[in-house]
Amino acid sequence: MKSVEKQAKTVDEAIELALKELNIKKEKAKIEVLEEGNRGILGFLSKAARVRVTQKDNPGERAVEFLKGLVKHFKIDPKIEMHEEDKDTIKITFEGKNVGALIGKHGSTLDAIQYLTSLVANRGNENYKRIILDAEDYRKKREEALERLAKNMARRVKETKKSVILEPMLPNERRIIHTALQGDSMVNTRSIGEEPNRRVVISLK
């Protein structure tokens, strides 16, 4: 994190000098007043005000820098875009050739990278930021596919009167299955097994 110390006649003037040097706005800065400053006899300045201004670390920017280094190991050079979904969530997307290499089977590679990126982005942060990574709009496509799967399997359970056990899924994918069928009055869903082989069971109520 960049930090500078400045002196001036007043605290406000010292802060302005520091902000100008760092080229940031006040809300992006951590400000420490080291010396208030005071005037001597007859109003002459005897002691200058001194401040230390530090640029606040940006979790999103830190995440992007980490990812730029990471994707080099995949021998691809995607376009990486970052934007804040809301005050607690940062979404980062990859675009370009061969970004499918970042997804992996059922998104396992993407989820692993997302986990590591979240650790990097939130290191030392007081306010936790949720990091969401996506490539080729995979998250939306996978969610839609899982919702279709859930409804198709629920239909089979109703027709055959037999429970269905789905393939092992990651926690967020199992949650999509549960959510998709929670309003169905004829079937129940539950998870069985241990990670990473935990599965969803769909059965009649």
User: Can you give the pLDDT at residue 39?
Assistant: 65
Could you tell me if 183 and 144 lie in one domain? yes
Could you tell me if 124 and 173 lie in one domain? no
Kindly report whether the global pTM for this prediction surpasses the value 0.85: no
User: Can you give the pLDDT at residue 46?
Assistant: 67
Could you tell me if 48 and 15 lie in one domain? yes
Domain boundary among 117, 136, 155: 136
User: Can you give the pLDDT at residue 140?
Assistant: 92
Could you tell me if 87 and 114 lie in one domain? yes
What CATH number is given to the structural domain containing 155?
A: 3.30.1370.50
Could you tell me if 34 and 65 lie in one domain? no
What's the total number of domains in the chain? 3
Compute how many other C-beta atoms are within 10 angstroms of the C-beta atom of residue 3. Answer: 13
Range of the domain at 132: 59-136
Domain boundary among 38, 55, 72: 55
- pLDDT values of the chain reduced to their tens digit, one per residue, 205 residues: 678 888 888 888 888 988 888 888 887 788 898 888 776 555 555 678 889 988 877 888 889 999 999 999 998 989 999 988 888 899 999 999 999 999 998 888 999 999 999 999 998 777 788 999 999 999 999 999 999 999 999 999 999 999 999 999 888 899 999 999 999 999 999 999 998 899 999 999 9
In whole angstroms, what is the distance from residue 21 CA to residue 87 CA?
Answer: 27
Could you tell me if 119 and 168 lie in one domain? no
- DSSP-assigned letters across all residues of 103-152: T-GGGHHHHHHHHHHHHHHHTT-SS--EEEEEETTHHHHHHHHHHHHHHH
